[in-house]
């Protein structure tokens, strides 16, 4: 018994260690791998939040671009360019395995992005040739520098080099420079008018000059074949589609250029087809009130269908061959387990970036507040209603009496107050006040509508009380209307004008123009004098308009006028 018992006891002692109990983790316990992943995920969230918050420092650029995108149909595609650029940059970063090999050099473009806000406001660096001007400190440069700095600081130089195209695309956030509009808009309008007229003759409806004017400028009919119908919008959209498509296909540079040029030409070609279709619709609809009433909708339908056809044809061509995509050896999912030393360096870079973002964000938030106050003050529900704005325009200036007052809006916001003044035996004069807390130049505004001045110079006019005021003036003649315009900026204390001659390279610091401080802000003021073009020479017409301007301005107290629109 005892022997057997001892034997059993011994066997029990031998077998006990072989049954190891399972390891049970306490609730909430994590492995070291999970801890590293969680820490890295926190780092990514911090980077995303910092990049978004830091962009507040670019508030002046975002506000300016938003105004351009929402008020200019030609440039509205710009609101798609920024998100496309960001997505393509993230695509490159993902292909590199979300590597975090950032360089401290990224702080340099970030600092330049913040500093360029100051320099772009206070310094002019441009080249001019007549009315055309090239700005070497473009409005979008700080945005490019900012996103380049973020990529360089956190992702590293390798990702920054490979993402050169998406980042460069940010420079096109203002997609159509004014110089392009100046050199191409008017010739394309002329081409569109000739094609429409030729097609009208081809279908047995050759218009006379009067009928051509009815065809091209008859908004009450619902059709408006005019400047906006030169095909630039469709061509620009197709061109940017081709630009991005060529990058994604990684085609050679000659083929890439061919894609873009072909897309632009295709956009213009289909616009000419659209104009011919509109002329045909005009011929059919004329005299049928039901068809005339839906002419605008027909225009949209024809244009939309033709643009869709053009886009499909273009993509069928470029997708005809398989893209030769180079394999990405480093392509992988998010690397959430970076080397601890690298992750530690990222935290220090993130901290430095946070300090810079705070310093840049303070004036950025202020810019948003000023813009909001400006919009509220200029809107119908703000401090001044349309009736109150009209009441602040003088009823009589010298011998000239007010005939009509009105407001101009952008995006539903009142931005300008205007009035027409006249007296017997004289041409009418339009007087305009820019209400937004920003600068405004009537000549640049006219240039964007395709009007090119024949002559531009600074002229001193004697105003009420014999106070000499300098105006930046320009003379326009399109064969139908002679026009003289003048632009200046006035506060309750003084007035100043910009230099009209912008030929050659200009490097200068802007004058201290305060467009924001109520009570002392500079108010942009302009006048326009028009008369029908006659057989008189341009020099004679110019002198007549100049004499009318001098007579009118001799009764205007510009500094007192600015006081009512502070």
Q: Are residues 129 and 218 in the same domain?
A: no
End-to-end CA distance of the chain: 114
Predicted local distance difference test score (pLDDT) of residue 20: 47
Predicted local distance difference test score (pLDDT) of residue 320: 65
Q: What is the rounded CA–CA span in Å between residue 261 and residue 370? A: 42
Q: Which two tokens stand for residue 68?
A: 């351009």
Q: Residue 356 pairs with which residues in a beta bridge? A: none
Does residue 57 contact residue 113 with C-beta atoms inside 8 Å?
yes
Q: Are residues 417 and 308 in the same domain?
A: no
Q: Give me the mean pLDDT over the 473-496 stretch.
A: 89
- 223 vs 195, which has greater pLDDT? 195
Of 154, 50, 160, give the one whose Cα is nearest residue 102.
154
Predicted local distance difference test score (pLDDT) of residue 528: 96
Q: Residue 488 pairs with which residues in a beta bridge? A: 525
Q: What is the rounded CA–CA span in Å between residue 469 and residue 183? A: 33
Predicted local distance difference test score (pLDDT) of residue 185: 67
Of 231, 106, 210, 208, give the one whose Cα is nearest residue 157.
106
Q: Kindly indicate the confidence band of residue 327, based on its pLDDT and cuts at 50, 70 and 90.
A: very low
Q: What is the rounded CA–CA span in Å between residue 47 and residue 98? A: 12
CA dihedral in degrees (134, 136, 140, 146; nearest 10)? Answer: 170
Cβ neighbours of residue 26 closer than 8 Å, sequence gap 6 or more: none
DSSP labels, 258-302: HHHHHHHHHHHHHHHHHHHHHHHHHHHHTT-HHHHHTHHHHHHHH
**Domain end among 361, 378, 395:** 378
Q: Give me the mean pLDDT over the 532-541 stretch.
A: 84
Interhelix angle 295-318/253-285, nearest 10 degrees: 160
Predicted local distance difference test score (pLDDT) of residue 42: 72
Residue 546 in this model has a pLDDT that exceeds 90: yes
pTM above 0.75, yes or no: no
Adjacency order of strands within the sheet including 123-129: 132-135, 123-129, 504-509
Residue 125 in this model has a pLDDT that exceeds 80: no
Domain of 202 in residue numbering reads as: 178-318
- 435 vs 4, which has greater pLDDT? 435
- 42 vs 207, which has greater pLDDT? 42
Of 561, 273, 264, 559, give the one whose Cα is nearest residue 396.
561
Other C-beta atoms closer than 10 Å to the C-beta of 287 total 8
Q: Kindly indicate the confidence band of residue 409, based on its pLDDT and cuts at 50, 70 and 90.
A: confident
Q: Are residues 407 and 546 in the same domain?
A: yes
Q: Give me the mean pLDDT over the 431-445 stretch.
A: 86
Q: Kindly indicate the confidence band of residue 343, based on its pLDDT and cuts at 50, 70 and 90.
A: low
Task: Assess if residue 4 is contained within a domain.
Answer: no
Cα 87 to chain centroid distance, Å, stands at: 19
Predicted local distance difference test score (pLDDT) of residue 6: 45
Predicted local distance difference test score (pLDDT) of residue 225: 47
Task: Assess if residue 14 is contained within a domain.
Answer: no
- 28 vs 368, which has greater pLDDT? 368
- 17 vs 360, which has greater pLDDT? 360
Per the listing, tokens 């997609």 go with 175
Q: What is the pLDDT of residues 262-314, one digit of tens each?
A: 888 888 888 888 888 888 887 787 767 777 667 667 777 887 888 888 888 87
Q: Are residues 534 and 436 in the same domain?
A: yes
Q: What is the pLDDT of residues 175-206, one digit of tens each?
A: 887 667 667 766 776 677 777 777 877 887 66
Q: Tell me the pLDDT of the chain averaged across its residues.
A: 76
Q: Give me the mean pLDDT over the 373-393 stretch.
A: 65
Predicted local distance difference test score (pLDDT) of residue 161: 93
Residue 446 in this model has a pLDDT that exceeds 50: yes
Highest mean pLDDT among 300-314, 352-366, 551-565: 551-565
Q: Are residues 400 and 543 in the same domain?
A: yes
Task: Assess if residue 21 is contained within a domain.
Answer: no
Q: Which two tokens stand for residue 439?
A: 């600068």
Residue 333 in this model has a pLDDT that exceeds 80: no
Predicted local distance difference test score (pLDDT) of residue 378: 44
Task: Assess if residue 13 is contained within a domain.
Answer: no
Residue 2 in this model has a pLDDT that exceeds 50: no
Does residue 477 contact residue 454 with C-beta atoms inside 8 Å?
yes
Predicted local distance difference test score (pLDDT) of residue 462: 93
Q: Are residues 397 and 372 in the same domain?
A: no
Q: Are residues 393 and 364 in the same domain?
A: no
Q: What is the pLDDT of residues 460-473, one digit of tens each?
A: 999 998 889 999 99
Q: Kindly indicate the confidence band of residue 368, based on its pLDDT and cuts at 50, 70 and 90.
A: low
pLDDT cut 70: percent of the chain above it: 69
Other C-beta atoms closer than 10 Å to the C-beta of 381 total 6
Q: Which of 149-153, 219-223, 515-519 has the weakest average pLDDT? A: 219-223
Q: Which of 86-90, 186-190, 516-520 has the weakest average pLDDT? A: 186-190
Of 498, 504, 393, give the one whose Cα is nearest residue 444.
498
Predicted local distance difference test score (pLDDT) of residue 355: 82
Q: Are residues 39 and 153 in the same domain?
A: yes
Q: Give me the mean pLDDT over the 515-534 stretch.
A: 87
Task: Assess if residue 242 is contained within a domain.
Answer: yes
Query: Total domain count for the chain?
Result: 3
Q: Are residues 229 and 286 in the same domain?
A: yes
Q: Are residues 281 and 350 in the same domain?
A: no
Predicted local distance difference test score (pLDDT) of residue 420: 95
Predicted local distance difference test score (pLDDT) of residue 197: 73
Q: Residue 509 pairs with which residues in a beta bridge? A: 123
Task: Assess if residue 291 is contained within a domain.
Answer: yes
Q: Strands, DSSP E only, in 380-480?
A: 396-397, 400-410, 413-422, 429-434, 455-462, 468-477
Task: Assess if residue 285 is contained within a domain.
Answer: yes
Residue 251 in this model has a pLDDT that exceeds 60: yes
Q: Kindly indicate the confidence band of residue 425, based on its pLDDT and cuts at 50, 70 and 90.
A: confident
Q: Kindly indicate the confidence band of residue 11, based on its pLDDT and cuts at 50, 70 and 90.
A: very low
Task: Assess if residue 12 is contained within a domain.
Answer: no
- 172 vs 321, which has greater pLDDT? 172
Q: Are residues 151 and 203 in the same domain?
A: no
Q: Give me the mean pLDDT over the 336-347 stretch.
A: 57
pLDDT cut 90: percent of the chain above it: 23
Q: Which of 42-56, 465-479, 552-566 has the weakest average pLDDT? A: 42-56
Q: Give me the mean pLDDT over the 334-348 stretch.
A: 57
Cβ neighbours of residue 243 closer than 8 Å, sequence gap 6 or more: 169, 256, 259, 260
Highest mean pLDDT among 7-11, 73-77, 511-515: 73-77
Q: Which two tokens stand for residue 312?
A: 């499909």
Predicted local distance difference test score (pLDDT) of residue 5: 46
Residue 375 in this model has a pLDDT that exceeds 70: no
Q: Are residues 286 and 256 in the same domain?
A: yes
């Amino acid at each position: 018994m005892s022997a057997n018992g001892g034997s059993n006891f011994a066997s029990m002692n031998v077998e006990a260690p072989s049954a190891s109990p399972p390891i049970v983790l306490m609730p909430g316990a994590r492995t070291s791998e999970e801890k590293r992943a969680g820490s890295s995920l926190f780092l990514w969230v911090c980077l995303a939040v910092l990049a978004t918050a830091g962009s507040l420092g670019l508030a002046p650029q975002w506000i300016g671009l938003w105004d351009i995108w929402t008020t200019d149909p030609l440039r509205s595609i710009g609101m798609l360019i920024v998100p496309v650029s960001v997505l393509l940059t993230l695509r490159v970063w993902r292909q590199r395995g979300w590597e975090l090999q950032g360089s401290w050099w990224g702080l340099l473009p970030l600092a330049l992005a913040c500093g360029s806000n100051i320099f772009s406001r206070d310094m002019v660096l441009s080249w001019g040739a007549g009315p055309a001007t090239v700005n070497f400190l473009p409005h979008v440069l700080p945005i490019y520098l900012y996103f380049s700095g973020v990529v360089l600081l956190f992702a590293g130089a390798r990702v920054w080099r490979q993402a050169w195209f998406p980042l460069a695309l940010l420079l096109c956030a203002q997609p159509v420079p004014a110089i392009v509009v100046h050199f191409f808009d008017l010739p394309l309008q002329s081409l569109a008018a000739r094609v429409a007229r030729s097609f009208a003759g081809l279908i047995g409806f050759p218009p006379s000059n009067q009928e051509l004017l009815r065809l091209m400028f008859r908004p009450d009919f619902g059709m408006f074949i005019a400047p906006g119908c030169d095909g630039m919008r469709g061509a620009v959209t197709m061109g940017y589609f081709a630009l991005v498509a060529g990058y994604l296909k990684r085609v050679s540079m000659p083929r890439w250029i061919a894609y873009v040029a072909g897309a632009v030409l295709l956009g213009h070609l289909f616009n000419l087809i659209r104009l011919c279709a509109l002329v045909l619709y005009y011929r059919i609809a004329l005299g049928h009130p039901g068809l005339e009433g839906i002419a605008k909708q027909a225009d949209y339908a024809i244009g939309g269908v033709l643009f869709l056809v053009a886009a499909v044809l273009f993509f069928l061509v470029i997708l005809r061959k398989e893209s030769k995509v180079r394999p990405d050896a480093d392509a992988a999912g998010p690397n959430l387990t970076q080397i601890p030393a690298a992750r530690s360096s990222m935290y220090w870079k993130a901290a430095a970036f946070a300090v810079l973002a705070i310093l840049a964000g303070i004036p950025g938030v202020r810019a948003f507040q000023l813009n909001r106050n400006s919009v509220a003050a200029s809107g119908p529900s703000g401090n001044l209603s349309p009736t109150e704005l009209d009441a602040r325009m003088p009823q009589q200036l010298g011998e000239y009496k007010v005939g009509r007052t009105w407001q101009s809006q952008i995006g539903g916001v009142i931005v300008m107050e205007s009035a027409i003044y006249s007296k017997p035996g004289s041409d009418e004069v339009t007087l305009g006040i820019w209400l937004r807390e920003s600068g405004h130049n009537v000549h640049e505004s006219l240039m964007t509508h395709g009007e090119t001045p024949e002559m531009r110079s600074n002229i001193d006019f004697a105003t009420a009380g014999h106070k000499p005021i300098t105006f930046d003036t320009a003379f326009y003649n399109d064969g139908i209307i002679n026009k003289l315009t003048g632009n200046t900026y006035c506060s309750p204390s003084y007035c100043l004008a910009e230099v009209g001659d912008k030929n050659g390279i200009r490097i200068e610091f802007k004058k201290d123009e305060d467009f924001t401080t109520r009570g002392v802000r500079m108010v942009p003021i302009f006048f326009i004098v028009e008369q029908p073009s006659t057989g008189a020479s341009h020099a004679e017409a110019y002198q007549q308009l100049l004499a009318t301007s001098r007579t009118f301005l001799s009764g205007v107290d510009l500094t007192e006028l600015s006081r009512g629109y502070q």
